[in-house]
Amino acid sequence: MYQTIILGSILLVSFYILKRFRKPKLNMPPLVRYKIPIIGHTYSYMFNSEEFIKQCKNEYGEIFSIYIWGEVRTIVGKEYSQEVLTRDDAFSFGKAFVETIPLDLLLKHAGVTNVPKLLKDYIFCKLNFYSERMQKCLHSAIQKYINTNVNDGPKVFNNMYLLMTKIISTPVSNIFIGEVRFISDLLTLQKIPPLLNFYYPGYLNRILVSSGLYNPAIKHRNILIKYIKNQVCNRLQGKAKYGDSWKRPDDLLQDIIEQENIDLNNVNYSSLADKIFAFLFASIHTTSTGCANALMDLASRPQYMQELYEEQLEVHKEADENGVLPFEALDNMKKLDSFIRETLRLTGHILALDHSVLKDYTFSNGLQLPKNHTVKIYVDDIYQDESLQGPNPKSFEPFRHIDKNAPASKISKNFVLFGAGKHACPGRYFAISEIKFFMHNIILKYNIRTESGKIEGRKLYGPTAYPSPSGIIIEKRKAK
C-alpha cells in the first residue's frame, strides 16, 4: 500500500519536473513568486482573485505569469491585450476554449463546424427578417415564465440566469426540446477545478466526458434527432413533390440542409444534431447572462426605471397593431443601449478570453511565449482604467455611452467582451438585439427591484463572474 503511494508520488513529481524543464528557453514573462509546488498561486487565484491579480500587476508589470492548478498561465494587461485579441495567426480563443469544455468530445459527430461562420452567414445577415419572430417568441416566453398579473401582486424570482436561459432559448430555438438543460449542464464543466492540469491541460474534463461519466449532450441528442428526422423527411419530400411552389422554412436547420446538399437517402442525423447544439451553446449562454445581469442592474437601481420607461414608451409608438416593433426601432433605444453596454462593461470578470498560443510569439515589449501556452486577458484592468473608460470607471453610470458612437455591439480597445479584430463574435448583433427587445418588453410591463433592496453584485468564482442568484421582485405595472 505504502509502496504504491510512494511510487505514485514519485511519478507525479517526475511528470511535473519533466514538464517544467521541457519548456523552451525563451524570454518568458516574470513568474510571480510562490511557496508551495503544484498548488502555487491557486488559493489566492480562487479566493482573492481581484486583489491578487492587482498586486501581481503592480509588482511585475503588464505581462506576468502565475502558477495555478499545476500550470503556468500568463496574464496580459490592457497595454498588450490587443496583440492577443487581434493576432489570430498566433493566438486562438477556440483552442483554449476546448481545454475547458471539450466540444470535440461532447459534439463528436459535428465534424468541422465553423459556428462563427454559420452565425455570420445565416443569422446576422437576416436580423431584420428574424426581428418579428424574435419579439413574438420573447413575448410568449415572458408570459409563460413570468406571467405576473396586476391582481397577483409582486412575485419573487431567484436565480435570474436559469430563468433567462428558458426565456432567451425560446426565440433562439423554440422548436427544439431539451436545449435549455443542455446549456446549464454544459456550463458546469467550466466550474470543475482542473486538478490534473499539471499533467495534461483539461485532463479531468476530458476524462469525465470520454469515459461517459458526464456527457450532457447524450441525453438530449435522441430527442433532437427524433425531431430532426421528422423535419428533414418532410422538407426534402415536400420540396421534391411541390418544386418551386414549396414553401421554404426559414431557419438554421434549413440553411444547413441546403449548405451541405443533404440527401434524404444519406442523412447523418447525429451530425446535424451536434451542429445545432453548437449553435445553441454559442447563442444562448452569452445572451442569457447579459439579460440576467441587465435585469439585476436595473432592479438594483430603480431610480433609472422612469427615464428608461419614458424612452421605451416613445419607441413603442412605432409598433404595429400586434405590438411588434420594426427592426429599425432598436436604433432609437439610445438610453437602453447605453444601459446594456454599461452592464456588459461591468460584467464582473477579473480575467477572461483565454487564448492558446499557436506558435512561439514575441510581444512588442520583447517578452516571449512558447507554443501551446495559455494566456488570460486582464479584463478588469481594461474596464477599470480611467483613460479608457472616462471618469469614475468603477461606478455604474448607465448613460455614459450616449453620444459617444459606442453602441453595445461595437467592439473597441475599451470594450473587449466580444473579442476584437476579424474574429470578434459575429453573433453579438443578434445577442444585443435580443437583449434590447427583452428589456423593452420588461420595462414597459413591469416594475422591478431587488428583494434585498440593495445593489446586488455579480458572484465571483475565482476570477470569473456569474449573474447574482439573489431574488428580484417583479410586479405588473398598473394601467394609467
Domain residue ranges of the chain, discontinuous segments joined by +: 2-476
- 214: DSSP letter: -
Is the pLDDT higher at 114 or at 329? 329
Q: Is the pLDDT of residue 208 over 70?
A: yes
- Average pLDDT for 38-42: 91
- Average pLDDT for 313-319: 96
- CATH for the 2-476 domain, from 2.40.110.10, 1.10.3720.10, 1.10.630.10, 2.60.40.10: 1.10.630.10
Q: Is the pLDDT of residue 306 over 80?
A: yes
pLDDT of residue 77: 97
- 333: DSSP letter: -
pLDDT of residue 219: 66
| 3-state secondary structure at position 266 | strand
- Residue 253's pLDDT band, with cuts at 50, 70 and 90, is confident
- Average pLDDT for 294-316: 97
pTM of the model: 0.86
361, 374 contact by CB (below 8 A): no
Question: Which of 22-26, 163-167, 278-282 ranks highest by mean pLDDT?
Answer: 163-167
Q: Which amino acid is at 469?
A: P
Is the pLDDT higher at 425 or at 385? 385
Residue 266 pairs with which residues in a beta bridge?
263
88, 52 contact by CB (below 8 A): no
pLDDT of residue 469: 94
Share of the chain above pLDDT 90, in %: 52
- Average pLDDT for 223-243: 86
Is 425 known to sit in a ligand binding site? Answer: yes
- Average pLDDT for 200-228: 71
pLDDT of residue 389: 95
pLDDT of residue 177: 34
- Residue 135's pLDDT band, with cuts at 50, 70 and 90, is very high
Which of 80-94, 267-281, 289-303, 400-414 comes out lowest in average pLDDT?
A: 267-281
312, 443 contact by CB (below 8 A): yes
Q: Which three cell numbers stand for residue 3?
A: 509502496
Q: Which tens digit of pLDDT belongs to each residue from 397-437? A: 999 999 899 999 999 999 999 998 877 888 889 899 999 99
Residue 72 pairs with which residues in a beta bridge?
67
Q: State the Cα torsion 102-106-108-110 to the nearest 10°.
A: -100
- Residue 119's pLDDT band, with cuts at 50, 70 and 90, is low
Which class for 301: exposed (0-12), middle (13-18), buried (19 or more C-beta within 10 A)? middle
CA dist., res. 183 & res. 164, Å (int): 12
Q: Is the pLDDT of residue 312 over 90?
A: yes
pLDDT of residue 157: 94
- 205: DSSP letter: H
Closest residue by Cα to residue 434 from 279, 278, 291? 291
pLDDT of residue 37: 86
- Residue 17's pLDDT band, with cuts at 50, 70 and 90, is very low
Instruction: Provide DSSP, 282-324.
Output: HHHHHHHHHHHHHHHHHHH-GGGHHHHHHHHHHHGGG--TTSP
CA dist., res. 139 & res. 441, Å (int): 7
CA dist., res. 384 & res. 116, Å (int): 29
Q: Is the pLDDT of residue 75 over 80?
A: yes
Q: Is the pLDDT of residue 333 over 50?
A: yes
pLDDT of residue 191: 56
pLDDT of residue 443: 97
Q: Which three cell numbers stand for residue 352?
A: 477572461
Closest residue by Cα to residue 286 from 349, 328, 228? 349
Which of 19-23, 162-166, 264-268 comes out lowest in average pLDDT?
A: 19-23
CA dist., res. 27 & res. 117, Å (int): 36
Q: Could you tell me the end-to-end alpha-carbon distance of the chain, in angstroms, rounded to an integer?
A: 78
Q: Which tens digit of pLDDT belongs to each residue from 166-200? A: 888 887 764 433 333 444 554 554 555 665 555 55
Closest residue by Cα to residue 60 from 358, 381, 374, 355? 381
Q: What is the mean pLDDT of the chain?
A: 84
- Residue 268's pLDDT band, with cuts at 50, 70 and 90, is confident
